[in-house]
Structure 1
Amino acid sequence: MKLYDTKARRLMAFEPVTEGEVSIYVCGPTVQSEPHIGHLRSALVYDLFTRWFEANGKKVTLIRNVTDIDDKVLEKAQETKTPWWQLAHTNELLFASDYRKLMIRDPSYEPRATGHIPQMLSLISLLIERGHAYQALDGSGSVYFDVRSLPSYGSLTNQPIDEIEVEGIGSGKKQPQDFALWKAAKKTEPDTAKWDSDYGPGRPGWHIECSAMATHYLGAQFDIHGGGLDLRFPHHENELAQSSAAGHGFAKYWVHNGLVNIAGQKMSKSLNNSVYSKELFSLAEPQVVRYYLMSAHYRSVLDFAPEVLEEAKTALERIYGFLERAERELELTRFQELELEINLPEDFVSEMNEDLNIPAALAVIHEAVRSGNTHLDEQRLSEASQQRSQLYKMLEIIGLAPNQWLVGSSLEHQALDLLIKALIAERNAAREAKDYARADAIRDSLIQAGIELSDASNQTHWSLS
């Protein structure tokens, strides 16, 4: 498999640190607010990576953290007059609910920043010991990373130190580019948002949180560090710096997913054009949203407008329509069972191995639908059965197989199937009795309801028109 490594700025052959295993750390949400479309897309990207690695026999350990203590969380809590921990927990539950709706599987571990303060303080202590960090010069109790102590600083985003955007001047810094590892407690912040340390009460900086959690769960070196493109700087640049300075190999590959545009404009708080998950789910079923979110290559910009969900719905209905038709027409034949050991199409495997090219893999899926329908039209049942089995296997890998979704929808289909089959039986009886007016009336009523009948030599099938 090939991955685009952001640090190397090119496609690279993926070679895991440990043969047969894949270790992934993904920056999860900062839970100061409810989830939006960008959060869902990012989580889905790494769910798809995990599924594909597992389909290739790899044992995957996926860590997706929750940043539950941060400047943004405290600011939002103050603004809403809500305890910060309550705000964080409430939003964390919303994220978890949305992940489940989209069939995004749970990570191996989902650590909260607040549960790993000792690991962060240990890493800070090591950086001071190695000469890469220092206590604030103003005696405030903060601790900063000395960017000039690390010659490779800026290597992720290819920026010279003097041209780097300053994170905040700060009176206790040696130079403006230095960033906080530990933030001294402020009188304006609640006592519950501070922890004791050798430097005085305070809380961790954002960047040290992920470095500490990643190495705690995955070790000093692991395979992939992922996250949104907006995290490359300063967050990931600073993670890489402090982990390298600690002597850790850290991430072998850096992978970043693209951002979301709303009707051609970048989604941002300043433009007030954010699309939140509750709006997405009010416009379309979760499996349609999942299809839409994977419809652009993960490194590309994903554009949103309400009509794209209609397009995704139509595409998904075309896929499911073939599967339903194949199930009906292969019933009571020697091809009615799925071939569980069937090989994936070579084109699908090739596209998935080319930096997880899901849009191209979806094109392979739609070609399978087209050719499968042709095989059914021409009564080539063996070939139609093979296409159906391959299609199911491809859909299972990307999390869109019908049997992976909620039971409720399949129960609705079963009920509809029973009703329509009863009408078909009544129509067949009318035809045998030469009551053609009744038979035609049943057929016409089904057509008006959007049900199309197809008379084969030995049975009648139905489909949504």
Structure 2
Amino acid sequence: MLQIYNTLSRSKQVFKPIVPGQVKMYVCGMTVYDFCHIGHARVMIVFDMVVRWLRASGYEVLYVRNITDIDDKIINRAIENGEPISALTQRFIDAMHADSDQLGLMHPDLEPRATDYITQMQGMIGKLIQNELAYQADDGDVNFAVRLLPDYGRLSGKSLDELNAGERVAVTGGKRDPLDFVLWKSAKPEEPADTRWKSPWGEGRPGWHIECSAMSCDLLGEHFDIHGGGADLQFPHHENEIAQSEGALYGKNRTADDAPFVNYWMHNGHIRVNEEKMSKSLGNFFLIRDVLKSFDPEVIRFFMLKAHYRSPINYSDAQLEEARSGLVRLYTALAQASEAGVEVLDAENPWVKRFTAAMNDDFNTPEAIAVLFDLASEVNRAQDNEKSRLANTLKSLGAALHFLQREPTQFLQSGTQAEDGLSPAQIEEQITARVSAKQAKDFAKADLIRKTLLEQGIVLEDKPGGITEWRRA
């Protein structure tokens, strides 16, 4: 029975979808004004894992992840570059998809763009004004009146007096209260024509928060199962989503009997660098495409999932090298068996039961990966048919996390961080020289070749029949 930690209740809860067997899930996606960094990779990998496990568990999942393609940062970057908004955003959407594909991630079922949902956003803003929860200020902006919603703060767990305006909620002279947030931004004379839309409140563009409410409600309904995103979105973004979505639906007088906007809120932890939160503002971020130049995509996924999705993780090359070493252990176990395949697993298999229990405990991937390591140890100890059977189980369980699906030699011989390492052709040349030395009974030379290769990170394994296989350490 799957349990999910719900940020809203601050507890693990048994997962009960609104419609039995079906899951509707929305995840906050990227603001496309630059290349994606490794923090974005964590969000994408975490919820890719969640969707895969839900589907492996028999659920039919509708996975929506939005694209923010209108935003102050986008506008500023387009003006700096002297290019249209649409050209800038399309370039970085294409780059995001390329990064995602290289990481081996599934695409969301739906990937709505904010600029395609202006009408829906205006409709929701109109309802909030009608429900007396929003007002147009003297500066032309339409703002949400936070203090008129008594239960604002449920997600962050703070009272109105404890909360502040938040990172992306600017306090302007037009607001009645510093906590109020913008729903519709009035256009400024100097802003380009492609950054404004006509509305009942004058030309302008949507605020950041209203985008996700309008898109999720339009695509998934006013009440759906799971909403996900990074921990930094909990407040103010997700708090504001709840306020405006439920405010539009119920007005000021929502009762305990009214269905919530979302049943389960999930937030993945930050990535830290030298124990500081990674962010563009601090300049300590790493682009996905740059990290992929040095590390295999499966290593990056393994690094992300060997920590629990809610925990912060510290990023470094050393941590990625450690993740690669872990995958080497698992692939080395698979390499010892005859060809392992993915099979339908017996739910009563003790390995399957342990793995399933871990994943059903709020997607506990560290414990699930520990099961894979224990199973790999058993593969190493087993003989013949038993070795193959266990290897099949290892590969099949790995498939649930999207690991261990390549031929072992393909991974074990894949490159590492060092750009000046030996090429496969150079390694094979040294192996051939070692074979010749052994045939000439020059065992000192053969041993020297093995030692030299090991110093360069290449491990040789002699197999029956005079075959020598190699892998990178």
Distance (Å, rounded) in 2 between the aligned partners of 1:339 and 1:94: 32
1:164 maps to what in 2?
A: 163
2:140 maps to what in 1?
A: 141
Are 1:320 and 1:402, in contact at CA under 8 Å, matched by a contact in 2? no
Shift of 1:133: 1.6
**Paired residue type of 1:312:** A
Shift of 1:157: 0.6
After TM superposition, the structure 1 stretch with the greater mean CA deviation from structure 2, 104-113 or 172-181, is 172-181
Cα offsets for 1:142-163 (capped at 9, x unmatched)? 2111212211111111222233
Please state if 1:370 is matched with 2:367.
no
Cα offsets for 1:332-352 (capped at 9, x unmatched)? xxxx56362233621111111
Are 1:157 and 1:233, in contact at CA under 8 Å, matched by a contact in 2? yes
Q: Find the partner of 1:237 among 239, 244, 249.
A: 239
For 1:431-450, what aligned pairs fall within 5 Å after superposition? Answer: 437=441, 449=453, 450=458
Q: Find the partner of 1:268 among 272, 279, 287.
A: 279
Shift of 1:189: 1.2
Cα offsets for 1:301-346 (capped at 9, x unmatched)? 11011111111111111111121221xxx3xxxxx56362233621
**Paired residue type of 2:268:** N
For 1:22-421, what aligned pairs fall within 5 Å after superposition? Answer: 22-136=23-137, 138=138, 140-166=139-165, 167-247=169-249, 249-326=260-337, 330=338, 338=341, 340-343=343-346, 345-375=352-382, 380-403=383-406
- The answer for unaligned runs of 5 or more in structure 1 is 331-335
After TM superposition, the structure 1 stretch with the greater mean CA deviation from structure 2, 181-190 or 222-231, is 181-190
SS at match of 1:403: coil
TM-score between both structures, scaled by the size of structure 1: 0.86
SS at match of 2:4: strand
- The answer for unaligned runs of 5 or more in structure 2 is 250-258, 416-422
State percent identity of aligned pairs.
Answer: 37
**Paired residue type of 1:185:** A
**Paired residue type of 1:373:** N
TM-score between both structures, scaled by the size of structure 2: 0.85
Shift of 1:404: 9.4
Shift of 1:427: 7.2
Shift of 1:446: 6.9
Are 1:243 and 1:249, in contact at CA under 8 Å, matched by a contact in 2? no
Are 2:342 and 2:395, in contact at CA under 8 Å, matched by a contact in 1? no
Shift of 1:355: 0.8
SS at match of 1:246: helix
SS at match of 1:182: strand
**Paired residue type of 1:325:** Q
1:2 maps to what in 2?
A: 3
Distance (Å, rounded) in 1 between the aligned partners of 2:207 and 2:327: 44
Q: How many residues align?
A: 441
SS at match of 2:308: coil
Shift of 1:115: 0.8
Shift of 1:227: 0.4
Are 2:122 and 2:199, in contact at CA under 8 Å, matched by a contact in 1? yes
Are 2:345 and 2:352, in contact at CA under 8 Å, matched by a contact in 1? no
Alpha carbons of structure 1 residues 270 and 116: separation in structure 2 relative to 1, 3 Å:
closer
2:256 maps to what in 1?
A: none
Cα offsets for 1:131-184 (capped at 9, x unmatched)? 222222x1x432111212211111111222233212333333332221111111
SS at match of 1:200: coil
Distance (Å, rounded) in 2 between the aligned partners of 1:190 and 1:62: 34
Distance (Å, rounded) in 2 between the aligned partners of 1:445 and 1:160: 69
Shift of 1:291: 1.2
SS at match of 1:87: helix
Distance (Å, rounded) in 2 between the aligned partners of 1:257 and 1:412: 30
1:333 maps to what in 2?
A: none
Cα offsets for 1:190-240 (capped at 9, x unmatched)? 111001111111100111100000011111111111000001111100000
Distance (Å, rounded) in 2 between the aligned partners of 1:135 and 1:337: 64
Cα offsets for 1:249-286 (capped at 9, x unmatched)? 32111100000110222223343212222331122121
SS at match of 1:290: helix
Distance (Å, rounded) in 2 between the aligned partners of 1:451 and 1:120: 59
**What is the RMSD of the two structures over their aligned residues, measured on CA atoms?**
3.1
SS at match of 1:293: helix
Distance (Å, rounded) in 2 between the aligned partners of 1:39 and 1:309: 17
Distance (Å, rounded) in 1 between the aligned partners of 2:201 and 2:391: 63
**Paired residue type of 1:244:** E
